[in-house]
Amino acid sequence: MRRIFVVGPRLASFSIGLIGAILSRGVHGLSNGVAKVPVLGYNTWNFFQCNIDQDLIIDTANLMVSLGLQDAGYNYVNIDDCWAEKNRSSTGELQPDSVRFSRGMKNLTDQVHALGFKAGIYGDSGWFTCAGYPGSFEHEDQDAQTLFADWGFDYLKYDNCAIPFDTIIQQGTMGKYVPMSNALQNLATNGSLSEPVVFSLCQWGWSQVWLWGARLGHSWRTTGDISSQWSSIASIINFNSFITQATGFYGRNDMDMLQLGNGNMTFDEAKTHFTAWALMKSPLLIGTNLSAITNETLSILTNKEILAINQDSVEPDAVSPFRWGINPDWTSNSSFPAQYWSGPSENGTVFMLINTLDTPSDMFFNLTESPWIRAGRQYSVRDLWAHTDNGTAVRNFTATSVPSHGVVALLLNDSGEEPLGIYPQCAVWFSCSSENGTYVDG
Ligand code: GLA
């Protein structure tokens, strides 16, 4: 019986993955094994914005090693906007800022690679980047050659600013990403790259990107820019709670870069931010100043039990809400998103409980509210924040005194048949009947 439970979800995810691979023809997803799981790394934008240079990138990479972040799996160091000169070269090439990146980009990627990381860079599908640097519109092949074949970057975040007028672009929201996708694909197939480039779409405008992102990229931004306030975290969780099924091995909803360590989030809010991003299988890109990182922030970012679920190479599904909690199911509420979530993982069923209220509260659920739990079984409970085994759950589970804006993350595993004689016969009374036809729910 146990095999049915364990194997079923795996088979399901495998077939979803295959469909994704077929749909994403010409893409760099499942078919080649690059970025089969969410990218873990660092990005300069959230803390440093345009105040970046080559030394910061190398210092950041060194800090990622010394702080243990590389060991925890963070293996991308990504440069965001503002790295370029405002003008292209006389032959049309992008050029790095001659002062801040004076040693050149090949020198930089060589150093980043020598430290054991991949290197990421930023571009834009329109005339300009969001901070006014050259965009790649009508320069896609040339820029792909410069950034990836010549300079050796491994990852492209591709933004959405300064879109040409309709009469010029004559493309839909997906279409404007196709020329760069094709350029990357051409480089991969003509032998210019040792590995395909990871293509991260930064399509934050309303475009239903989750319906088509997997055809072109490894991830796609679903919401506008994150801020370091709880209100932003809650609103991004709410939005993404409705599109969790878009995520799989072939690509995933990108909830934007982590704001842990920035602003004034409480410890519990920071844990919730990280847990939701990780368990919803978003890329996890650290966005704080590593030279001033606190032990608290570091302890969150290096929670290996949470990271293991994000990086699950067998089960790609995100957690999804099974009950919205204080709101009726399917309510969209940017301040009070869904509270009760679950999903499959290689090592058991994951539960995530979020106390969206401003006061501590107890949170209760019946195990079989989750579609990944078998009726009539009892489950061992692992707490992924306390790192403790918390006994056995029979029928239901209550987390007591969950802090305001706090989170509970659990891993449940089948530990045999539930004790005999428990009443009622069905914990969740939906069409539950005895053999002679007596319905216990009337
Ligand atoms: C947009 C993106 C951000 C960042 C900035 C850079 O706002 O959404 O993540 O890349 O551009 O200008």
Whether the pLDDT of residue 13 is over 90: the answer is no
Q: Which domains does the chain have, with CATH numbers?
A: 4-221 (3.20.20.70), 320-417 (2.60.40.1180)
Top mutation candidate among 202, 232, 282 for ligand 1, by most atoms within 8 Å of CB: 202
List of residues 6+ apart from 52 with CB closer than 8 A = 44, 79, 80, 82, 83, 100
Strands 396-402 and 377-383: unpaired
pLDDT for res 440: 67
The Å distance, Cα 46 to ligand 1 centre, comes to 9
Whether the pLDDT of residue 22 is over 70: the answer is no
Residue 16 — very low, low, confident or very high, per pLDDT cuts 50/70/90? very low
Determine the atom of ligand 1 nearest the C-alpha atom of 131: 12
Q: What pairs with residue 348 in β-bridges?
A: 345
Helix axes 267-279, 230-240, angle to 10 degrees: 20
- Sign (positive or negative) of CA dihedral 272, 278, 281, 282: positive
- The residue among 126, 31, 119 whose CA lies nearest residue 83 is 119
Mean pLDDT of 27-34: 52
| CB distance 162 to ligand 1 below 6 Å | no
The Å distance, Cα 29 to ligand 1 centre, comes to 24
The Å distance, Cα 17 to ligand 1 centre, comes to 30
Whole-model pTM? 0.92
Mean pLDDT of 280-306: 98
Residue 57 — very low, low, confident or very high, per pLDDT cuts 50/70/90? very high
Mean pLDDT of 271-275: 98
- Rounded Cα distance between 353 and 356, Å, is 9
Determine the atom of ligand 1 nearest the C-alpha atom of 221: 8
Residue nearest to atom 8 of ligand 1 (CA): 225
117-163 pLDDT, tens digit each: 999 999 999 999 999 999 999 999 999 999 999 999 999 999 999 99
- Rounded Cα distance between 208 and 206, Å, is 6
| CB distance 225 to ligand 1 below 6 Å | yes
Residue 431 — very low, low, confident or very high, per pLDDT cuts 50/70/90? confident
pLDDT for res 31: 45
Looking at residue 367, its amino acid is L
Residue 24 — very low, low, confident or very high, per pLDDT cuts 50/70/90? very low
Top mutation candidate among 42, 44, 45 for ligand 1, by most atoms within 8 Å of CB: 45
Cβ–Cβ < 8 Å for 149, 111: no
Mean pLDDT of 243-271: 96
The Å distance, Cα 259 to ligand 1 centre, comes to 14
Whether the pLDDT of residue 25 is over 90: the answer is no
Catalytic residue positions? Answer: 159, 225
Higher pLDDT, 54 or 18: 54
What's the alpha-carbon Rg for the chain, to the nearest Å?
Answer: 23
Determine the atom of ligand 1 nearest the C-alpha atom of 129: 12
Higher pLDDT, 442 or 183: 183
Mean pLDDT of 177-205: 95
The Å distance, Cα 409 to ligand 1 centre, comes to 30
pLDDT for res 441: 56
Top mutation candidate among 46, 49, 80, 227 for ligand 1, by most atoms within 8 Å of CB: 80
157-187 pLDDT, tens digit each: 999 999 999 999 999 999 999 999 999 999 9
Determine the atom of ligand 1 nearest the C-alpha atom of 202: 8
| CB distance 258 to ligand 1 below 6 Å | no
List of residues 6+ apart from 54 with CB closer than 8 A = 100, 101, 102, 103, 107, 108
| CB distance 80 to ligand 1 below 6 Å | yes
